[in-house]
Structure 1
Amino acid sequence: MIKLALIDNGIPYHMRNNRNQRIVHKSFLASKCDPSEYKDDKSFHGAVCVGIITSICSDIELWDLNVTDSAGTTQITVLLEALEWCIQNKIKLIHMSLGTINYFDIKPLWIQIKRLLDADAIIVAAYHNRNIKTYPAAYPGVFGVRQDRYGLLGNGQILFQEQKGYNIENSIIANFSWNGIVNQANSYAAPVVTGHIATYLNRKPQQDLMMLWTF
């Protein structure tokens, strides 16, 4: 069973209890309020991402790392702390349907991401919904994901679509749709890729990580 860290806004308590997967929750926010207390639709962002992942691969041990508030925002220091936790706990698969477009975040974030990649961690991250350069999705070695906005793919399918100025692993498109309606959010396309990678790792845990680029 693959150990997966979801770095997001936390899964509400009642949703954690209703799942078959083992879920360990940890918050990196100064406020320790449970995500179930949040009132707007963004409260369920992490839960939706997990639902997409587990619809593809249910055989996971989930580490639910809460880094964003009810508005879906956080500080770079909080994100770096969560990534440090992943390093110390030897997490091998990390999902981040979030990122930064702030120039001043690029270097400190890369230092942590590089440490994880050097430890053979696999990181999946979503691009900003305006499809501008987002980190960590655009870092070398990170699987950067956008939604298929041109109807090229069926639900749950993925494709490497090369883009100028990006590495091939940063150039993934995926399709997530519900009842035939394509969700345009990149944050809900990225879990499709994470689900497929989790499935692959459960089948071939010792396989060369480079093989993931062709699965």
Structure 2
Amino acid sequence: MVVSASGKPVKPVPDPAPAQQIPWGVNRIDAELAWPQNTGQGVKVAVLDTGIDLSHPDLLANIKGGYNAIKPNKSPADDNGHGTHVAGIIAAVNDNIGVVGVAPQAELYAVKVLSANGSGYLSDIIEGLEWCITNNMQVINMSLGTSSEVQSFHDAVIKVYNAGIVMVAAAGNSGPGDNTVEYPAKYEEVIAVSATSDNDAIASFSSRGPDR
């Protein structure tokens, strides 16, 4: 409790919420120029990751559901932070505070396939992909990868592709060598995305190759 010189309690004045910013990456692709025509409204985007902070004020309005493939009887809440960060890039709401995402009215679905330490099993990722098919997702983001090609994983990716779902995956952080793109980004059914720097060059750490 704050006390004034007169001895009477004084209520502290909370700091004002920070003004909303467009992250440099979102601004770099000119996402805001598309918003008058399309903000992602009605598009179901599954984030296969460590989960999403289900009470995050910049995401809450857009979170519509999810699934925990690791522990199906538990919530898909984020216990790492990575999935929440990714979800914010995709669809942080346009509410004049915090940041705003590429598609600020897209519907977010938290599909937890990675544990608190950011790692996981392909079996859980495959289960997450199956959930996406069953629940009619339209876009799947996978900011994850492995250097090993596993046929059951590719089979699951092909099944998702045949269901008409768009898959986007990180190329990986195994650069700068050539042909370093990881799976599932390396599969032809998936859109591979490398990282870039703020000077529009491919990031030194980013995987690269003919698949990206």
TM over 0.5: yes
TM, length-normalised to structure 2:
0.64
Q: Which has the larger share of strand?
A: 1
In structure 2, the residue corresponding to 1:108 is in which secondary structure?
helix
Extract unaligned runs of 5+ from structure 2. Answer: 1-41, 92-100, 202-207
- Return the letter of the residue paired with 1:113: V
Is residue 2:187 matched to residue 1:139?
Answer: yes
TM, length-normalised to structure 1:
0.63
Q: Which has the larger share of helix?
A: 1
Is residue 2:168 matched to residue 1:124?
Answer: yes
Q: How many angstroms does 1:68 deviate by?
A: 0.6
Residue of structure 1 in register with 2:70 after alignment: 29
| In 2: Cα distance, 1:33 partner to 1:114 partner | 28
In structure 2, the residue corresponding to 1:15 is in which secondary structure?
coil
Question: Which of 79, 102, 109 is matched with 2:125 structurally?
Answer: 79
Q: Contact 2:76–2:110 (CA<8 Å) still a contact in 1?
A: no
Instruction: Deviation per CA, 1:133-161: give whole Å up to 9, x if none.
Output: 311101113110111148226xxxxxxxx
1:18 to 1:149, Cα distance in 2 relative to 1, 3 A: closer
1:91 to 1:35, Cα distance in 2 relative to 1, 3 A: closer
- Return the letter of the residue paired with 2:139: L
Q: Contact 2:76–2:112 (CA<8 Å) still a contact in 1?
A: no
Residue of structure 2 in register with 1:100 after alignment: 146
Residue of structure 1 in register with 2:109 after alignment: 63
In structure 2, the residue corresponding to 1:140 is in which secondary structure?
coil
Q: Contact 1:5–1:86 (CA<8 Å) still a contact in 2?
A: yes
1:24 to 1:17, Cα distance in 2 relative to 1, 3 A: farther
Quote the RMSD (CA, aligned, Å).
Answer: 2.3
Is residue 2:45 matched to residue 1:4?
Answer: yes
Residue of structure 2 in register with 1:114 after alignment: 158
Residue of structure 2 in register with 1:186 after alignment: none
Higher relative contact order (CA 8 A, sep 6+): 1
Q: Aligned pairs, how many?
A: 151
| Percent of residue pairs identical | 26
Residue of structure 1 in register with 2:86 after alignment: 49
In structure 1, the residue corresponding to 2:194 is in which secondary structure?
strand
